[in-house]
């Protein structure tokens, strides 16, 4: 059985301005960002996101989709409703984190293929609240378990290097729980970490702190918990899931554990399958192939999608 796995930073998928699901504190934080964010604009944003999700997996839609920058489960339910024509029994696993802007990490999954058994939010120790690492233990069959960890690490706001220690903290947190999961479930456990890491594969937060390696032997021969970063083959060929000042960056990534590389977990990652979901209408018509943003406020472009391209990979069991 092959599984199509995707991740997408959907860029500020906010609830409507007068949402009863939002706290007064969050309303104050988001006040300026929500100007012009009406029910009609939200509807259009959902239509645009759903259009791309339907394209995935040769028009079948993803089997498992990780998302970030979603405000709450309500907007996720609206998004899933837009995918009804795929005839998939999608369910939602959502983490209501303490992030100051109220943007969370979540998973949309085909409940015929995956059963969400346990959910954990792993807090990152930081002076100001940030997104938790969101772990969901999925059962694929009676004897096969896939541990998925969603990530949205602290942004580069204020400068890449001044903010880098926060992402190092996130990387260290991920490595810590990788090791703890192995202690409980065994060294061949299938663990897939995905997300917007706001750093590239070679940055220290990933390579040193999260222990995400470039080559298979460094993972399969290691005694300690290490990941293989599936995005390394894309690095340096001009690909990017995000663009900063027209430079392509690979910020959205998949990290797989030893058990997913060897297949000893009963599930195996196709380590050469990772790529960027990029359909022509998602790309700006300028000189550089940057994502066509939907944005917000005065800059809303109802023909746009997100400031990130989605990424995808495949598993087999």
Give the integer Cα–Cα distance in Å for 37 and 140: 39
The residue range of the domain holding 26 is 2-316
Q: In this predicted structure, what is the pLDDT of residue 25?
A: 65
Q: Is the dihedral of CA 262, 56, 96, 114 positive or negative?
A: negative
Q: In this predicted structure, what is the pLDDT of residue 127?
A: 63
Which parts of the chain are beta strand (E)? 2-13, 64-70, 90-94, 104-110, 115-122, 133-141, 144-152, 190-196, 212-213, 227-229, 242-244, 247-249, 252-256, 268-269, 275-276, 311-316
Q: Please, how many CA atoms are within 13 Å of residue 312, restricted to the half-sphere of its CB?
A: 19
Q: In this predicted structure, what is the pLDDT of residue 155?
A: 87
Q: In this predicted structure, what is the pLDDT of residue 178?
A: 98
CATH of the domain at 205: 3.60.10.10
The domain tally of the chain equals 1
Q: In this predicted structure, what is the pLDDT of residue 27?
A: 64
How confident is the prediction along the chain (317 residues), in pLDDT tens digits per residue?
A: 999 999 999 999 988 877 767 776 676 767 777 788 899 999 999 999 999 999 999 999 999 999 999 999 999 999 999 999 999 999 999 988 777 777 899 999 999 999 999 999 988 876 665 778 999 999 998 889 999 999 999 988 878 878 898 999 999 999 999 999 999 999 999 999 999 999 999 999 999 999 999 999 999 999 999 999 999 999 878 889 999 988 999 999 999 999 999 999 999 999 999 999 999 999 998 888 999 999 988 889 999 999 999 999 999 99
Q: In this predicted structure, what is the pLDDT of residue 24?
A: 64
Give the integer Cα–Cα distance in Å for 238 and 252: 15
Give the integer Cα–Cα distance in Å for 129 and 114: 31
Q: In this predicted structure, what is the pLDDT of residue 163?
A: 86
């Amino acid at each position: 059985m092959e599984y199509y796995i995707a991740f997408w930073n959907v860029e500020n998928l906010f609830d409507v301005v007068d949402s009863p699901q939002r706290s007064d504190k969050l309303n104050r934080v988001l006040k300026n960002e929500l100007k012009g964010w009406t029910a009609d604009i939200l509807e259009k944003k959902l239509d645009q996101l759903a259009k791309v999700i339907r394209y995935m997996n040769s028009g079948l839609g993803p089997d498992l989709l990780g998302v970030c920058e979603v405000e709450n489960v309500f907007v996720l339910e609206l998004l899933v409703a837009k995918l009804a024509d795929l005839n998939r029994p999608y369910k939602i696993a959502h983490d209501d984190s303490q992030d100051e802007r109220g943007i969370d990490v979540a998973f949309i999954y085909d409940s015929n293929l995956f059963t969400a058994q346990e959910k954990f939010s792993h807090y990152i120790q930081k002076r100001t609240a940030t997104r938790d690492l969101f772990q969901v233990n999925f059962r694929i069959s009676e004897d096969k378990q896939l541990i998925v960890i969603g990530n949205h690490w602290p942004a580069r706001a204020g400068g890449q290097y001044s903010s880098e220690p926060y992402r190092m903290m996130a990387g260290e947190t991920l490595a810590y729980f990788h090791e703890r999961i192995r202690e409980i479930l065994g060294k061949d456990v299938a663990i897939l970490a995905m997300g917007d890491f706001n750093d590239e594969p070679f940055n220290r937060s990933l390579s040193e702190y999260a222990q995400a390696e470039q080559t298979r032997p460094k993972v399969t021969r290691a005694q300690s918990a290490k990941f293989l970063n599936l995005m390394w083959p894309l690095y340096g060929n001009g690909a990017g899931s995000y663009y900063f000042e027209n430079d392509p960056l690979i910020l959205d990534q998949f990290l797989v554990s030893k058990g997913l590389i060897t297949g000893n977990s009963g599930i195996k990652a196709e380590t050469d399958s990772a790529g960027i979901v990029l359909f022509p209408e998602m790309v700006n018509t300028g000189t550089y192939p940057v994502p066509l943003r939907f944005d917000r406020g005065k800059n809303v472009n109802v023909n746009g999608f997100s400031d990130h391209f989605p990424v995808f990979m495949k598993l087999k069991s």
